[in-house]
Amino acid sequence: MTTFEGPVKAIPHPSEVVYGFLSDFNNFENLLPPDKISNWESDGDSCRFTVEGIGELGLRIIEKVPHKTIKFSADGKTPFDFFLWIQLKELDVADTRVKLTIKAELNPMLKMMVTGPVNKFLTVVTDGIAAYPYATKE
C-alpha cells in the first residue's frame, strides 16, 4: 500500500462547521478547481468525477468520526483501489487544521505515473478546503 500525504493547512473556523460541510459530497464541487475537475456527479454520500491527469474517480463515504475524520473509499470503476482520509484537528475555536491522506494499491509502474498528479490533487483539494468561506453560526 502506497501512502500519499497532503500538506497540513489552517482553517479559521471551528471543526464542527468544517466537518459538517465536508461530510456531504454535494458541497465538494465548490472546493475543486473547475480547470482540473470535470463531469461532477454527487448524491451526498458518494460522488464521481474526472481528474485531469488521473482519469475518472468515484468516492464513497465509509466512516465518519464527528468533527475529526471522514474516510472515503474508491467507488465503482477507478484506475486503482484507494482510501482517502480527511483529518481535522481543532486547536482553538477559530483554528482547525486539515490534512488529507491517500492510501492506494499501486504496482511500481502505476505508482511512478500517478505520484505527481496525486500529490498535486491532495495539495489543490487541501488548499480549497482551507480557503473556503464556511458559513458559521453567529
Q: What is the DSSP string of 66-86?
A: TTTEEEEEE-SS-SS-EEEEE
Question: Residue 49: is its pLDDT beyond 90?
Answer: no
pLDDT at 136: 62
Q: Chain-wide mean pLDDT for the chain?
A: 90
Separation CA 65–CA 13 (nearest Å): 18
In contact, 36 and 55? CB cutoff 8 Å: no
CATH of domain 2-131: 3.30.530.20
What digits encode the pLDDT tens for the residues 88-120?
Answer: 999 998 999 999 999 999 999 989 988 998 898
What's the distance, CA 21 to chain centroid? 12
pLDDT at 65: 97
Question: Residue 4: is its pLDDT beyond 80?
Answer: yes
Separation CA 49–CA 56 (nearest Å): 6
What digits encode the pLDDT tens for the residues 54-92?
Answer: 778 889 999 999 999 999 998 887 777 899 999 999 999
pLDDT at 79: 72
User: How many other C-beta atoms lie within 10 A of the C-beta of residue 101?
Assistant: 15
pLDDT at 137: 57
pLDDT at 58: 87
pLDDT at 76: 81
Task: Give me the residue spans of the domains in the chain.
Answer: 2-131
